[in-house]
Amino acid sequence: MIKDLNEVSYENIVVFEVVLSSASGEGLKVRFDLGKNLITWNDGYMWNNNFMRGISSEKLEYLKSELPKTHMLEWLINYNQGHEDDIGHVTANPSIWQIRVLFDNEETLSSTSCQHFPNEWNLLKELIEKMTECTFRLR
């Protein structure tokens, strides 16, 4: 199990998946496969809104440069260590987030939380929306 940032880096991410769901299980899932340059979008509300598309080299470079600014790996490690109150806040929104990251050494890092979002959640949300051109929030 990955316990600190010395074990992983943003440059070694091969795949990362972000899920945002309601208590009933409906929601959105986006998967970025950086090895295959693909984005997969699954919309639990509108099945006809699902897609898989390629990531252009410009967008891939943008993603790689902006992802570290979200501090996503830092949240995952902190949430897994029980320090979520240090980097996040409780919300009235009953949403659940899940993030799973696969690295080039086949290690994985994942975390989840309900009604407790990282303070910098919007940075990741905005990056996802820019990359997918879709709104990443529950209806």
| Residue 86, helix vs strand vs coil | helix
CATH number belonging to domain 5-132: 3.30.1560
Mean pLDDT of 18-47: 91
Q: Provide the H-helix boundaries in the chain.
A: 57-66, 72-80, 84-87, 121-132
| Residue 46, helix vs strand vs coil | coil
Task: Give yes or no for a contact between 10 and 64, defined as CB atoms under 8 angstroms apart.
Answer: yes
The structure tokens listed for 52 are 């898989």
pLDDT in tens, 115-136: 999 999 999 999 999 999 999 9
pTM: 0.92
pLDDT in tens, 38-96: 999 999 877 778 999 999 999 999 999 999 999 999 999 999 999 999 999 998 877 99
Say yes or no to pLDDT of 35 above 90.
Answer: yes
- Structure confidence at residue 74 (pLDDT): 94
- Structure confidence at residue 1 (pLDDT): 66
Dmax over CA atoms of the chain, in Å, equals: 41
Residue 81's identity, in one-letter code, is Q
